[in-house]
Amino acid sequence: MCCKLLGIPEIRKPANQWCEDCNVGKGCQIYQDRPLSCRQFDCLWLQLDGIPEEFRPDKTQVVLSLTDHYDEDIVAYCDPEYPDNWRNGAFGQWLLNTANKLSERLFVVCGDDRKVVHLRSGANKN
């Protein structure tokens, strides 16, 4: 899902479009020579131990990462075709519980829509 939801500046790939080098369901066709931003990116599913298999980004249509600047806040990049997956069902409950433990804010990015969920204060800001 990162190959779809995230932009890749080195190859001018916009967010929310599949990378032309991605073989959907199989992986990157240029993995050994992929751009630096792809090499440096690890989603939270790869970083955190114990995340259930059913919460993998390709199953939830949500890619989670820490913010670039502070490594304290979580960003949920949602597939615009599934804009509410970040908050629905068992995954949504797990995400909010995990985000409450790890950060003060959850940034939700879904296409052109942006939302900040202030976790510890309980106040949401659109």
- 31-50 residue pLDDT tens: 999 999 999 999 999 988 88
Both 36 and 93 in one domain: the answer is no
Q: Which has the closest alpha carbon to 35: 55, 7, 66?
A: 7
CA distance 37 to 8: 7
| For the chain, percent of residues with pLDDT exceeding 90 | 70
Q: Are residues 52 and 97 in the same domain?
A: yes
- 79: phi then psi, degrees, rounded to nearest 5: -65, 125
**Could you give the angle at the alpha carbon of 89 between the alpha carbons of 55 and 117, nearest 5°?**
85
For residue 27, the enclosing domain spans: 1-41
**Domain total of the chain:** 2
Strands 105-110 and 74-78: parallel
Regarding whether 47 and 35 lie in a shared domain, the answer is no
| Amino acid in the structure at residue 63 | V
Q: What is the predicted pLDDT for the residue at 89?
A: 95
Is there a single domain that holds both residue 52 and residue 105? yes
* Of 10-14, 67-71, 85-89, the least confident: 67-71
pLDDT of 99: 87
Same domain, 92 and 119: yes
Task: Tell which residue, 14, 18, 22, has the closest CA to residue 4.
Answer: 18
Q: Can you give the pTM of this predicted structure?
A: 0.86
pLDDT score for 123: 44
Q: Please report the pLDDT score of residue 66 as a whole number.
A: 87
pLDDT (mean) for 10-38: 94
Backbone φ/ψ region at 89: left (φ over 0), alpha (ψ -120 to 50), beta? left
**What is the number of other CB atoms lying within 10 angstroms of the CB of residue 1?**
21
